Each structure stands twice: as structure tokens, then as C-alpha cells.
Chain A
Amino acid sequence: MAIGWYLTVSALIFCIGAVGVITRPNPLVILLCLELMLNAGNLALVAFSRMWGHEDGQIFALIVMVVAACEVTVGLGLIVAIYRRQLPVNVDDLNELNG
């Protein structure tokens, strides 16, 4: 099977994730979309790894998963903190860091 299909799926998932990050106001959904983007990347890495018959890409994919786990921990922690302080769970309202 040609690698093109794998990359097409990966690109589709990535675009879905990116559009989700940009358009959705809910931080929880943004986090989910981020996971989509990361995993799209993982898919591409694994596909390339297979194509070259080399294990580097798979190792990269594993590292990305670890980083993603860490990132989700921090992200969820932030969301919980926002919720606990009774701030709006809406990224558009959290715009105090402007110039």
C-alpha cells in the first residue's frame, strides 16, 4: 500500500485538530484537538518508519506520546484551576495577557 494514503489520513486528522484548536472556545475541546494533531503527527512518523524499514520514527512516536501525556496533565491541571477559581471556562474571556 502506498504511503500517500497514510499521509492523507494524517493530514486530514491534523487539519481537523488545527481547525478545532482555532475555532472552539472551550479549553477542554482545545486540548482534545491538540491530541488529534499530535496523533496525526504520530501516524505520519510511523508510516515513514515503515516505509524506510527503520525504527527511528517509531521511537519518535513513543516520545511524542510521553510528551502528550505530560502536556495533558498540565493542561487539565490548568483547566481544573480555572474551574476552581470560578473563572469562565472560555479561552476568549481569558485575554488579560494582552499588550
Chain B
Amino acid sequence: MSATTFGWLILLFPLVGTILIALNYKRLPGTSAGWLATLAIALAFAASLGALFSLLGDPTTHRELTSKLWNYDVSIGVDAQLSILVDPLSIFMALVVSGVSTLIHMYSIAYLKSDRGYSRYFAYLNFFVFSMLVLVLAGNFLLLIVGWAFVGAASYLLISFWYRRSTATKAGIKAFVINVLGDVGLVLGTFFILRHTHTLDFQKAFAAAPHVFSHNSTDLVAGCLLLLVGAFAKSAQVPLHTWLPDAMEGPTPVSALIHAATMVTAGVYLIARMHPFFEIATTAADVGAIVGCLTLLIAATIAIVQTDLKRVIAYSTMSQIGYMIMGVSVGAYSAGLFHLMTHAFFKALLFMAAGSIISAMGGEQSLDRMSGFRKALPFTFICFIIGGLALSGLPPFSGWLSKDDIIGYLDNRGGGFEILGILGYVGALMTGVYTFRMIFRAFWGEPCEEARELEHGHLVHHDVPTNPQTGEAEDTDVGFPGVDHHIAERDWPMRFAMSGLMVLAVIGGALQIPGVDDALTKFLQPTFATSHLYNLEAGTGTEWVGLIIGALIAIAGISIAYRTWVLRPGASSALEARLPRLHTFLYNKWYFDELIDFLIVRPTQWLGRFNDSVLERGVIAGGVTGGTTGIVRAASAAVRRAQTGYLRYYAAAILVGISGMALYFLISAT
């Protein structure tokens, strides 16, 4: 089979899975919906592997294949087709998405076992994977936009999965609104590009780009900036990031799948895919790099002070995606995508481990309440440590190689980009601190009540479950979390999924070791064949220097965390007391929510109220429609007087009328 046949199969399996589960959600017994969904995604992964091997069998100059099922519309200036593009980049993304999704589906089988919305959950999850695969395999702008909007919708559905929880539905709406903002940016950006290239097809548009656009031409810079708005909204970059921490209201596997491993990296993919445009519109690319750098710093500072376990990991995700956006914006495509892959592994692992701890706490997510889980959750502990080390960038874990690949490229590119590289190291230091702050607080110290109970083999169980954010009482019916909690130590599908990711988080970096192998760079070469930035990688020696610096910085970060939260337990609160303003500022997330509320939400609400009271009620209801009905009513009241109901009156009127007419004609005839 050709690679494109495999490409269509990748899309087919999750779609069939979604439809089967959605139509039979009442008939599927026990955990069969979960297994069916997992099978569908595993088959998609197998098809991705098939496409990979099929592609590797082709000569490197023929590794960009398009396949079209049908035309929607072909007219002047628009060629809307249902077509996919199978090239190294899309297959790389499909492999990461379907591979990680398979493991997360498997984890969910056990994690949501007692939830009343079990089948619905898996239908959504399969739909999400389908949308994401449409996004990465799309061969034209139209299908890209479709996939882009679909993943936003899937994200909304999954964040609000517990739809009776008010905080979850609000978070879902917030995520959806910000994502739609990104969709609008993407669509408008596409128009700017379509206007000059006259084609929606990626390959044709990329080929035309150098001929129709001059360096930094206004239209292209505007188009690329609008594409960046789409990328920033989807990838939670400043200032469109506020939805991501709130999205942690969804079930933990959803956080792992959508809000760490796959969907939020769509922005990175978009910039890498659109590289022929960004390399011409260098101003837009620079904006992307600067925003990525800002995000990684801002998110890291916030992550250091947050107390909600999942939110700490969410801010860490933002920060890591900042690295990727920065990387692909400056031209470190293979490094950025490499980090995307390793991040998917260790961040999904961290979320899964966090899910296990949260279950052991009976749904509680606050780091203030958890401590000393080392003995109670030995397997989760190992996963968390490995994920944490990979995230901090300690050798030989995957994050070490990928993160420093990006920073090394920045340092090598020169022209002011070294500053971003140095700021990247600052972020790396903070990464070590916040990651191990989380680990030390959750696993070290005196075991908390739940941990002690668990050491005696008793998993905590609340009689009245509550919302961990607000403390509101809940029940366990559909629309709220299920009655039982599941930890990795007791459910083998969770353990299996976490083991798989653990292995990948350790060895995933082997794909790209400087001087040893550059497998990923070589594999992705055909997609970036025309790029003049792609082969700007530093020499092997320089890269190793960068890697050693990175490792030292990671160790420094971890030791700071160790000194602050293990050796001297009171140190962090003393620091808080000494810098209360800074702490409040960071704890309130740089007041971004308040700022957006002040700048956008409140003026919009005010405008809405103004339109309601003045425009709608006053002008429309009072003036336009009210005036018209008033005239008609007055006129009909006048005419109604003539209708007396007396027969003789009517007869006389007719007689007078006819006589009058006859007289008129008689007079006018003479």
C-alpha cells in the first residue's frame, strides 16, 4: 500500500471508533467502550507506522505525497478539496499523536471505570484524536481549519465532561471562546495568503510563496501574524493562555492528552508547517520567538508558586510550549519538533502520575494537603521522578537532549537570538525548581493522612464527594466524577500506559544525539528541503557544550528545590514572608485574568448592556418597530370609526358614493 492509503486509514479508524461508540453508548457493556476506543487509536498508530515505513521506502525527493478524495469546489481563486498531505512532518505528528493517545486511552479505561459517562467520554476522546489527525494530515488550508476547529470543540466537550460541575463548564466555555479567537486568526491569515497565492493547497502555496511575496511584504507579515494568533490561542501563549490552567477542570487523562501532549502543540506544528511563509515574513517569525520566550519565563515563574498540582503541571506545559514556539519561530524546526515529541512523553507521564496521586487523595488537588506519598505510591513515585527529571532536562533523559537542542540552535543562530537562548537557560533553571518543588512536596516529608491510610492498604473514600476548587458537595451520578478512585498501583492498564511512557521518556532522546545520530533531522529533511534555516545547526562540539551547561543548570535547579523544600522546610514560607508582593503577584498569575477581564470582558459586557437597554429597547423596540406599529394603530383607529354596524348607514354610504361617482363622470363627460 502507498503511504497515502495509510494516511486515509489513519483518519478512518478514529472516525469509525467515534461513530460506533457514540451510536452504541447504551449497549456497550462494562469497559468495552474503552477497549474499543483504544483499539481504534492503536490501529491508527499501526497505520501511521505503515505510512512511516512506506515513506522510508521512497527516495528522499519523493516523500511529499498528496492524495485527494474529491473536490468540494474548484472555481476562480479557490480550490477546496478533501486532500491529505503525507510527508515526514505530518507522519511524525501522526505517530506522536496516535502513539501517545493509545496509551492515554488505555490509562482512561481504568481511571474512569466508575464514571457514569464512560462511553460518552471515549466517544469524545476518539473524536478528539480524529480531529487532531485531520489537523496534522490536512493537505490544504481548508482541511487544516476544519481540524483546527474540531480539536477546539473536542477540547470544550472534554473540559466540560463533568457538566454538572459549574467550574468545569465555565472553564470549557473559556477555553472554547479563546480557541475560537484563534480560529478566526487562522481563517483571516489564510485569506491574506490565499489572496496572493490563489490556491488553498499547501504544496502549491509553498511553491508559489517566494515568487508572489517579497521579503517582509505587508500582506504576508499580516497573514503570518494572524496565523500566529491562531497558534498562540491553541498553544496557550501569552496573552491567550489563560484557558489552559482552567482547562485542568477536565478529567486528568484529558489534561494529559489534550492539554499537554497533543492539542496544545498544534501551534508548534502550524508554524513548522508554514515555515516557507515565516521564513519570508521574518518580522512575524521574530514576534513568535519573542512571545514564546516571554511565555516560557512567565509560566515558569507562576508554576513556582501555584499550589494546585495539576495547575503546576499546566503552567509547566505552557512554559515548555514556549520553548517549542520559540524554536520553530527562529528556524530550529527539528529541535522544536523533537522537544514536542519528548514533551508529549514526559508530560503525559507526569499528568498520569498526578492523576494517580489525586485519586489517592480522593480528588483533592492541592499540594498543601499532600505529602509523603513515597511509600504509599511507589510506582507513581518512580513515574513522577522520571517524568520530572526528563522535564528538568537532566541527562540522560529525553528532555535534556531536546530542550538544549533548541537553546543550542538559538545560540548558534546569532544576530541577537543569543539573548533568547540565555533566557531559555533561565527558564530551564526555574523548570528544575518548580518540578522538584512539586515532587518534594507531594512525596517527601511526613506522610499525610491519606498516604498513611494507603500504606495500610486502604484507599481514601469520601462519603460526600466535593468539588476540589470550591468545596461544593456533589453526587456521583452522570455529570460528576464516578464513585471510585483508581490508582496506578492497583489497575494494570494505568500501570501499563505509564510504563510505556516511562520507557519513552527515558530513551526517546536517543533519536537525536548530537554527533551520534540525527535521525529526526534527517527524517524531516524532505519537508524542510527549501528552508535556508533548517541546516543551520551548531557543530557537534558546540552542541555538547550546550548540553553540559543545560545539565548543570538542571542540577542547580533541582538542588535549589531540594534545599528549599527538603533540607530547610520553613525556607519557602520565610521567602514568601520576605517578598509578599512578589508572591501575591505570581500567585495571582501576573493578574492576566484580571487584565483581560478589565480590558475585554468588562467593556464587552458594558457594550452588551448598552445595546440591550439603549439600542435594542430604545431605538429598535421604541423607535423603529414601535413607530411603525404606532402609525398603523392610529390609522386603523381612525378608520374603525366608519364601521358603525348600522346596515342603513352602509346602504346610504354606498348610494352616496355611487351617486357621487356618477355625477363626476357626468360632469366630466360634458
Contact = CB atoms under 8 A, between A and B. Distances in A.
B645 A95 contact: yes
Interface string A21-44: 111010000100000000000000
Which of A18, A92, A99 gathers the greatest number of chain B CB atoms within 10 Å?
Answer: A99
A99 B648 contact: no
A77 B652 CA distance: 24
B635 to A, nearest CB: 13
A91 B641 contact: no
B600 interface: no
A94 B647 contact: yes
A76 to B, nearest CB: 16
Nearest to A91: B647
B639 interface: yes
Given A18-B655, A22-B655, A96 B645 contact: yes
A4 to B, nearest CB: 16
Nearest to A37: B655
Contacts of A30: 647
Contacts of B647: 30, 91-92, 94-95
A97 interface: yes
Contact of B648 (A22, A96, A98): A22
Given A18-B655, A22-B652, A99 B640 contact: yes
B631 interface: no
Contact of A98 (B639, B644, B652, B655): B644
A95 B641 CA distance: 13
A99 B643 contact: yes
Contacts of B641: 99
Interface in B618-670: 639-648, 651-652, 655
Contacts of B655: 18, 22
Contact of A21 (B640, B642, B646, B648): B648
Interface residues of A, number: 14
Contacts of A22: 648, 651-652, 655
Interface string B483-505: 00000000000000000000000
Given A18-B655, A21-B651, A22-B655, A92 B643 contact: no
Contact of B639 (A18, A23, A97, A99): A99
B442 to A, nearest CB: 83
A98 B651 contact: no
Given A18-B655, A22-B655, A95 B644 contact: yes
A97 B649 CA distance: 13
A99 B644 CA distance: 6
Contact of B643 (A18, A21, A94, A97): A97
A25 B646 CA distance: 10
Contacts of A97: 643, 645
Contacts of A96: 645
Contact of A95 (B642, B646, B651): B646
A36 B646 CA distance: 21
Contacts of B646: 91-92, 95
Contacts of B644: 95, 98-99
Contacts of B639: 99
Contacts of B640: 99
A14 to B, nearest CB: 10
B377 to A, nearest CB: 86
B644 to A, nearest CB: 5
Nearest to A21: B651
Contacts of B642: 99
Nearest to B648: A22
A78 B652 CA distance: 21
Contacts of A95: 644-647
Contacts of A91: 646-648
B633 to A, nearest CB: 13
A96 B647 CA distance: 11
A41 B310 CA distance: 100
A32 B639 CA distance: 32
A73 B655 CA distance: 23
Interface in B352-373: none
Contacts of A21: 648, 651
A97 B646 CA distance: 8
B663 to A, nearest CB: 14
A18 B655 CA distance: 8
A10 to B, nearest CB: 14
B639 to A, nearest CB: 7
Most interface-central of B640, B646, B647 (chain A CB within 10 A): B647
Interface of A: 18, 21-23, 25, 30, 91-92, 94-99
12 contacts: A21-B648, A22-B648, A22-B655, A30-B647, A91-B647, A92-B646, A95-B645, A95-B647, A97-B643, A99-B639, A99-B640, A99-B643
Interface of B: 639-648, 651-652, 655
Given A92-B647, A92-B648, A99-B645, 5 more contacts: A21-B648, A22-B651, A97-B643, A99-B641, A99-B642
The list of the 7 closest CB pairs from A to B, nearest first, reads A99-B643, A98-B645, A95-B645, A99-B640, A91-B647, A22-B652, A21-B651
